[in-house]
Amino acid sequence: MADIDARLLGGRIRDARKRAGLSQDDLGREVGLERTVMNKIESGVRKVTALELADVAAAIGVRMSTFFEESVPALVAHRSSQGLDTADSQIDTLLARFANEVQFVASLGVDELKLDAADKVAEADIARPATAPEAEVLAAKARDLLGIPADEPIRQLSACVAEVGLLAFSRDIGHDTADAGTILLPRGGVSLVNSHMKVGRRRLALAHEFGHYLIADPYTVDWRVANHPDIPMESRLDRFARALLLPREVVSQQWSEKFKRSGERTAAILLASAFRVDMATLATRLKELGLASSETVAAVRGYRTTQTDILDLNLNIPLEEMTGTTVPRPFARAVLRLVRDERISRERALDLLQGTFDETDLPAVRERRADEIWDFVS
């Protein structure tokens, strides 16, 4: 606590309290302090003890170490642009946490994290799309970067983007908040997808964030992805996301074939299932490619895949990705490597893994030989 002054610490307590939706009275009652005392702590007039700070962290629902972590530079710049007194959103807070934790793991030099894969993006000479056709070109280039043929669905998007240095976390943060956000790190990036949405929307949101990552936007939070008609770059990245998931040539070919053979509804269900998109995304893509009338587009938007469809059409339903709380596989592997090498505690590992592992899931504790004590005392 000597490394941070009372005023800065108090400000961080205030910001965390506001993000949690608590008043000074509320927090004071939780930790057994008067509101006037909380006011003095937040203003830096009164120092907070270690025990009080632990109680504050527990009441707000954050780790105590959060108050001592430096924010990611891109996040600092974003907050500054919004005004010094702006308290960040829930997704803002989680993104900052995940970014800091990825950088912590990266600082320990673990190969499994694979952030050096971000060099592929730096070497690809990617330009910001200025038009919708350029967004389509960027989507084709992105597929090349990911090593995915133009005629194949992207089955596990979160795993694919990790191959070029973007680590995608997910968390259910409710309906009335952002779809997703991304922070660019010194090497690589971190995205957070709101898993409250259905899988098609989650994948579209991550595809959109991948676009931000490719054009090196330092920090973004997107509210209602695919609803940006008045924001040119966001609209172009919406187009990029749809083109990434639904490539022009294969969608044009398959829609025509399936429509002629099976009709409008079955064609829509087969395409949406194969490419793992929601009906709204498919409908918009059909419209922008000129493949369907306005009546068909409206109808496709309203279709729903039923259990009968799954059986009758013999649909292959893969495991959903980014369901609930998830951590990217390279990050999980890196954390497990640190546990095996005894470089972090098991408790710290469980915290980093966001509750997706329990104690029994971690690697077994290595049994030591009796003579190993001399390695530490010699």
* Residue 220 pLDDT: 72
Is residue 355 over pLDDT 80?
A: yes
Q: Answer for the pair 239, 288: CB distance below 8 angstroms, yes or no.
A: yes
Please tell me the distance from the alpha carbon of residue 350 to that of residue 334, in angstroms, as a whole number: 13
* Residue 231 pLDDT: 75
129 plus 198 within the same structural domain: yes
Q: What percent of the chain has pLDDT over 90?
A: 67
Q: What range does the domain containing 45 cover?
A: 1-68
Q: What percent of the chain has pLDDT over 70?
A: 88
Q: At how many degrees (to 10) do helices 73-82 and 90-107 cross? A: 160
303 plus 208 within the same structural domain: no
Q: In the numeric block, which tokens belong to residue 253?
A: 């070919």
Please tell me the distance from the alpha carbon of residue 135 to that of residue 114, in angstroms, as a whole number: 27
Q: For the sheet containing 180-184, what is the strand order?
A: 166-171, 189-194, 180-184, 219-222
Higher-confidence position of 68 and 372: 68
Is residue 58 over pLDDT 90?
A: no
* Residue 2 pLDDT: 40
Q: What secondary structure letter does DSSP report for 27?
A: H
User: Could you tell me the CATH number of the domain that includes residue 45?
Assistant: 1.10.260.40
* Residue 230 pLDDT: 63
What average pLDDT score do residues 148-176 get? 93
- Residue ending a domain, choose from 68, 85, 119: 68
206 plus 326 within the same structural domain: yes
Pick the closest to residue 209 from 279, 142, 130, 123 (CA basis): 142
219 plus 348 within the same structural domain: yes
Give the chain's radius of gyration (CA, Å): 24
- Residue ending a domain, choose from 259, 292, 312: 312
Alpha-helical regions (H) of the chain: 6-19, 24-31, 35-43, 50-60, 73-82, 90-107, 119-122, 132-146, 157-162, 199-214, 232-245, 248-262, 264-275, 279-288, 294-302, 307-312, 329-340, 346-352, 374-377
Per the prediction, the chain carries an average pLDDT of 87
239 plus 252 within the same structural domain: no
Please tell me the distance from the alpha carbon of residue 95 to that of residue 98, in angstroms, as a whole number: 5
238 plus 285 within the same structural domain: no
* Residue 71 pLDDT: 60
115 plus 203 within the same structural domain: yes
* Residue 135 pLDDT: 97
Q: How confident is the model at residue 74 (pLDDT cuts 50, 70, 90)?
A: low
* Residue 368 pLDDT: 60
- Residue ending a domain, choose from 312, 327, 355: 312
Q: How confident is the model at residue 199 (pLDDT cuts 50, 70, 90)?
A: very high
| Predicted structure pTM score | 0.80
Is residue 84 over pLDDT 60?
A: no
* Residue 85 pLDDT: 40
Please tell me the distance from the alpha carbon of residue 151 to that of residue 319, in angstroms, as a whole number: 21
Is residue 68 over pLDDT 50?
A: yes
Is residue 369 over pLDDT 70?
A: no
38 plus 104 within the same structural domain: no
Please tell me the distance from the alpha carbon of residue 199 to that of residue 44, in angstroms, as a whole number: 45
Give the model confidence (pLDDT) of 202-258 as tens digits: 999 999 999 999 999 887 777 666 666 667 899 999 999 999 999 999 999 999 999
* Residue 42 pLDDT: 92
206 plus 87 within the same structural domain: yes
Q: Answer for the pair 19, 90: CB distance below 8 angstroms, yes or no.
A: yes
Q: In the numeric block, which tokens belong to residue 2?
A: 């000597």
Give me the number of domains the chain comprises. Answer: 3
Q: Name residue 174's beta-bridge partners.
A: none
What average pLDDT score do residues 308-312 get? 94
* Residue 146 pLDDT: 96
Sequential DSSP letters for 75-99: HHHHHHHH-TTPPP-HHHHHHHHHH
Query: Which one of 27-36, 99-108, 245-254, 365-374 scores highest in mean pLDDT?
Result: 245-254
106 plus 123 within the same structural domain: yes
255 plus 230 within the same structural domain: no
148 plus 213 within the same structural domain: yes
Is residue 376 over pLDDT 90?
A: no
